[in-house]
Amino acid sequence: MEPWMRGLKAILFDLDGTLYQDEAFPERYVRYMLEEALGPEEAAKAALEGREALAGKRALRLGRFYDPQADLVLACRSGEPAGGWSWDGEPIPPQELARYAACFRPAGPRRKGSGADGVDGACRSGGAAKAAAGAEAGAEAGAEAGARPRLAEPNSEAPELIAAGDGWGIAAAVGRRHGASPQAVEAAFGRVRREMLDGPHAFARHAGLAQALAELAACGALERIMLLTNTPEPSALDFLEALGMQGLFTELRCGAGKPDGMERCIEELLGQGYRPEELLSVGDNAWNDLLPMRRAGGRTCLVAPYAMDEEERWDARLRTLEELERLLRGIRSTMEGSVSGHGGNRAGRPKQEV
């Protein structure tokens, strides 16, 4: 396995799209959002747009951003807007990108103070960016659903953008574009989450991944195994139970408000004496899960079956849960060898907290 695994002391896991995969829900989610407002036929057409976006066949695709006010899709490279398109894929003039310049510009990792105000707190993923996850992005805390970067100054007229970082974000952008009300989105979110757990639309459980995570937790080689999810606590706990993963984490942070909450967690760990290279973030959403860790100098693992509009190079790029299972087993094997050679880790493994 990779040499950097020997130095790990903490792993931060995402939940939705990372510890299980469900490629069918975005289409249903969009349909449920829009059926009442548009009717079944038009809602189905909008759902098809979401499916095409996930397949990389539209201007909107994973890793890009949607400006609902201007009805534009944007790409970012190295902290700068790198392209823009109409919803239907017509390029926009480069001069129109200037108004988005501050939305993506990185300010570097924060080492002191959170600078945040809850779910809608300041987010250093852009020099002046914010993340807000509200009902229109998929229930109260977003449920991994498209945090919206925007300029942080309260009186700024800069655009609010929906980050299409995963299937939830794609669905959020499509729903917003076609006029889904916050109430319709919240109802659709709840319906989709219930379907995921039971019935014909339930996602497939991956017993091998659950076992690999349990073995990693039991071996004691890592000091922290944390779960950070934007999903509200009741739903997150239901999903962990369904996955057979309850009790495997040293700490659960539900309704975490990522990416801002990810940055706060990283800052806390650095303040406790961890070095960046001792931390690994595992997730399917680069904006929420990986970019904050990468900017801080930590390790990153992207787990997603889709192609991404990305230029970042992660420490590991996986597409399936089988690959994630193998990675966790490799980390355990590497860490067990490291611990036996150095007399154990520096702290006992604390009890799981929610």
Q: Are 129 and 255 contained in the same domain? A: no
Tokens representing 75? 């790409």
CA neighbours within 13 Å on the CB side: how many for 223? Answer: 15
User: What would the pLDDT profile of 223-261 be if each residue is shown by its tens digit?
Assistant: 999 999 999 999 999 999 999 999 999 999 999 999 999
pLDDT the model gives residue 341: 52
Q: Are 221 and 253 contained in the same domain? A: yes
Q: Is residue 236 part of a domain?
A: yes
Sheet holding 10-13, edge to edge: 251-253, 224-228, 10-13, 279-283, 299-303, 316-318
Q: Are 89 and 190 contained in the same domain? A: yes
Tell me how many domains the chain contains. 2
pLDDT the model gives residue 4: 87
Q: Are 178 and 259 contained in the same domain? A: no
Mean pLDDT confidence for 256-284: 96
Range of weakest confidence among 12-26, 75-89, 149-163: 149-163
pLDDT the model gives residue 158: 60
pLDDT the model gives residue 176: 96
Is the distance from CB of 88 to CB of 59 less than 8 angstroms?
Answer: yes
Say which residue, 120 or 20, is predicted with more confidence: 20
Say which residue, 165 or 336, is predicted with more confidence: 165
Q: Are 10 and 38 contained in the same domain? A: no
Mean pLDDT confidence for 185-192: 95
CA dist., res. 29 & res. 185, Å (int): 8
Is the distance from CB of 322 to CB of 52 less than 8 angstroms?
Answer: no
pLDDT the model gives residue 79: 75
178 pLDDT exceeds 60? yes
Q: Are 268 and 170 contained in the same domain? A: no
Q: Which amino acid is at 197?
A: L
Q: Are 74 and 86 contained in the same domain? A: yes
CA dist., res. 286 & res. 226, Å (int): 18
Quote the percentage of the chain above a pLDDT of 90: 68
CATH number of the CATH domain containing 258: 3.40.50.1000
pLDDT the model gives residue 105: 59
Q: Are 144 and 232 contained in the same domain? A: no
User: What would the pLDDT profile of 125-145 be if each residue is shown by its tens digit?
Assistant: 333 233 333 333 444 334 444
Q: Name, in order, each residue with C-beta under 8 angstroms of 201's C-beta and a sequence gap of 6 or more.
A: 24, 25, 28, 195
The residue to which tokens 């926009």 are assigned? 92
CA dist., res. 38 & res. 35, Å (int): 5
pTM of the predicted model as reported, rounded to 2 decimal places: 0.83
Q: Are 232 and 319 contained in the same domain? A: yes
Mean pLDDT confidence for 289-299: 95
151 pLDDT exceeds 80? no
pLDDT the model gives residue 328: 96
CA dist., res. 53 & res. 277, Å (int): 34
Q: Are 121 and 142 contained in the same domain? A: yes
pLDDT the model gives residue 153: 37
User: What would the pLDDT profile of 18-55 be if each residue is shown by its tens digit?
Assistant: 999 999 999 999 999 999 999 999 999 999 999 999 99
* Domain carrying residue 80: 25-197
CA dist., res. 165 & res. 173, Å (int): 11
Q: Are 103 and 189 contained in the same domain? A: yes
Q: Of the residues 197, 221, 247, which one is the last residue of a structural domain? A: 197
Q: Of the residues 142, 167, 197, which one is the last residue of a structural domain? A: 197
Q: Is residue 349 part of a domain?
A: no
| Omega within 30 of 0 (cis) for the link into 91 | no
Q: Are 38 and 180 contained in the same domain? A: yes
112 pLDDT exceeds 90? no
Q: Name, in order, each residue with C-beta under 8 angstroms of 247's C-beta and a sequence gap of 6 or more.
A: 352
- At residue 177, φ and ψ (nearest 5 deg) are -65, -35
Mean pLDDT confidence for 166-181: 96
Mean pLDDT confidence for 102-116: 45
Residues 185, 35, 50, CA angle at the centre, nearest 5°? 70
Range of weakest confidence among 30-39, 76-85, 340-349: 340-349
